[in-house]
Amino acid sequence: MRDPAWADRGQMLQFDLDDAPRPPACVALSRMGSVRVTGGACSVWMAVRGHLWIDCKEGRFRLRRGEWMVFERDSHPVLQSSEQGLGLGLLLTAHDLQALEQLSDEILYPGRGRFGSRDRRVAMRLWRTAKESGESEALRPILLHMARAQRDLAERVQLCPGRSRSRKRQVFGRMQRARLYLEGHSDRVVRIGELADMTNFSSWYFSKAFQSLYDESPQALSARLRLERAADLLRTTQMTVSEVAASCGFDNCCSFARAFRARFGTSATRYRAIGPRSAA
> Can you say how many angstroms the Cα of residue 115 is from the centroid of all Cα atoms in its chain?
13
Determine how many CB atoms are found less than 10 A away from the CB of residue 199. 20
Stretches in the chain below the pLDDT threshold 70: 1-2, 276-280
Output DSSP code: residue 23.
P
- What pLDDT score was predicted for residue 276? 63
- What pLDDT score was predicted for residue 236? 92
CB neighbour burial string for 84-109, b if at least 16 within 10 angstroms, e if fewer: ebbbbbbbbbeebbebbeeeeebbbb
The sign of the dihedral angle between the CA atoms of 78, 121, 109, 106 is positive
- Alpha-carbon distance 83 to 32, whole Å? 5
What are the helix (H) ranges across the chain?
A: 94-104, 117-133, 140-149, 151-154, 165-184, 192-199, 203-214, 218-236, 241-247, 253-264, 268-274, 276-279
Closest CA to 243 of 220, 264, 221, 272: 272
The predicted model scores a pTM of 0.92
- What pLDDT score was predicted for residue 277? 55
The CA angle 74-76-77, to the nearest 5 degrees, is 135
The answer to whether residues 203 and 192 touch, using CB atoms and an 8 Å cutoff, is yes
- Alpha-carbon distance 139 to 136, whole Å? 6
